[in-house]
Structure 1
């Protein structure tokens, strides 16, 4: 539907919209369209910080969705937030159309024509968005920039602002955690967070096999670690089953039991996490935790954590079909995916670096 209806629709809407050539010097209100997932929203926080520095008096409105509202509401630089309800699309479009005109709109959607249609409905004096090869979604914007697979996503986001001629400071992402969400843990014990669950298309190929998590857990518990599992409501059943498999008191699950902000507070307090490539990995980076990031069919250069405190482990075989947007066709010769070739020994040794206080250096196997 996005392809066969979205392309001609956005093209026609672009014909009817008169393009603006100039943006007013000091916009007073900016609206940002970001209805994607948690990780994308956390990366976006760095761009919002840049906009606040460029335009100190600007009010920023964020249009989000059910999928990222938990992250959006913890972005400290956002002044107003509007939830686009996918269960009531017409009502949401009507709400957006009734909003007063904004000086500037940024659409950080990278491929979906639906984002472009939202951007068309919102009244704004000047609109900025991405152009991607074969996506045909850029016709309604006044200013476009190429979305590039070889760049980390945060650099693509920065380029959308640079397209207006602004120099940026390359600030880091940010996520606000209340002081009330602290001191979860027993200070006499040592902990590590396991985030075993991916999301989106090809999630199974981005998840390290459970048998390898089990072996790693056994070895870390022998070293005196208590393991905390994190995840969403959809992961709760699997997480509880893993805890039952492990047995004992050295492993427990918070998956589906706490909010995203509470998850962030736990990660911050623990200070160390082993995670697959997903939104919680980016959350851990802004919490300044040590990260052991397990990448499968995704490039760390494209989607790695934005931090210097990480070890990045990639498959021991070359993957010829790395995912860039996440939904592309992907087939792997291995039943458990190329991520299954990451060895338990390598992950264990990465965790030992945390224990002895070594500085992390980004490393990888074969990309």
Structure 2
């Protein structure tokens, strides 16, 4: 599902379940037996860089299990460029999600044995799987999303485990004991840097509810400077340039020379910055998952999100959870209570301690 497309979301929510339910008689004539010989697998992930990072582990699992298997990854526009960084897929195909008929035509041009839908709530993904002509279709049965009617093998989407574990459950259907971690994206972390990356800007629905107050970032920077002669880099997309400029304007004179913004620069530049960073401190968003997967010492700030569901996955990570009432309740990414101040409950002392722990651990190893 393309983020920010309200019209597409409306039709997905209200028309999608009706279409899927109408197609269910066709499922009566289909097998639910996974073939013993699997020559080709298609994976579908229509949006979200963070989710695509987690999906990279599944690609590795599939490739390790069967080096000769054809793997096709279908994406949306928002995660296509990022997906090209992943290893293991034979083809990465961008789908024009605003034109479902074109999507079906593209998908059907590939001969597919197993079609695995990794989206947890969009109905359009389930429709594309249903019309894929794959021998077996696997996807999530997610509570109250009404998207599983046409899956040959629906898999319960659980809100009591990390999303990576949910992805592994999908692979378990075809007999894989999935255990790989997300890929390092061809940019494994290099120890010894003296920059600290602050990623202050979340993405997605109601993203402002995942922003940490500017004064808290000031306090964190001052405390980290007691540990070393660090400089600070702000990262973000083009839409975050003005936010970074506004933040820089709030810095006291003692801190301003140590900060520089790289918001709006290329994604490859952001990867290089992360690769050479001593530490990444990020709100819960795609860059947090990217840095963690690369091996960057990463502190994730969780307000509405629960790290047990959406925490960073990697060898050097810490999660700091808000103490606000209602914090940590986000499951699929849109169940916000708009009047809740999620992020003010993140104690700056906890963030400082987590950052210090990672910096000191890195120095001692």
Pair 88,137 (structure 1): closer, same or farther in 2 beyond 3 Å? closer
Q: Which runs of 4+ in 1 moved over 6 A?
A: none
Give the structure with the larger helix fraction: 2
Q: Specify the alignment match of 1:268 in structure 2.
A: 275
Q: Specify the alignment match of 1:165 in structure 2.
A: 175
Tell me whether 1:311 sits opposite 2:311 in the alignment: no
* 2:316–2:358 CA contact under 8 A, matched in 1: no
Q: TM-score, normalised by structure 2?
A: 0.88
Q: Specify the alignment match of 2:72 in structure 1.
A: 61
Matches of 1:41 and 1:32, distance apart in 2: 11
Q: Specify the alignment match of 2:342 in structure 1.
A: 338
1:357 match: secondary structure: helix
Q: Specify the alignment match of 1:241 in structure 2.
A: 246
Matches of 1:134 and 1:359, distance apart in 2: 48
* 2:185–2:294 CA contact under 8 A, matched in 1: no
* 1:29–1:104 CA contact under 8 A, matched in 2: yes
Query: How far is the alpha carbon of 1:357 from its aligned partner?
Result: 2.6
Counting matched residue pairs gives 349
1:271 match: secondary structure: strand
Q: Specify the alignment match of 1:364 in structure 2.
A: none
Q: Specify the alignment match of 1:155 in structure 2.
A: 165
Matches of 1:25 and 1:271, distance apart in 2: 47
Q: Specify the alignment match of 1:125 in structure 2.
A: 135
Tell me whether 1:257 sits opposite 2:265 in the alignment: yes
Give unmatched runs, 5+ long, in structure 1. Answer: 361-367
Q: Specify the alignment match of 2:21 in structure 1.
A: 11
Q: Specify the alignment match of 2:148 in structure 1.
A: 138
Q: TM-score, normalised by structure 1?
A: 0.88
CA RMSD of superposed structures (Å)? 2.4
* 1:130–1:147 CA contact under 8 A, matched in 2: yes
Q: Specify the alignment match of 2:236 in structure 1.
A: 231
- Deviation string for 1:9-64 (max 9, x for gaps)? 01112222432122222211111111120000000011111111222210111110
Matches of 1:355 and 1:305, distance apart in 2: 17
* 1:41–1:72 CA contact under 8 A, matched in 2: yes
Moved more, 192-201 or 81-90: 81-90
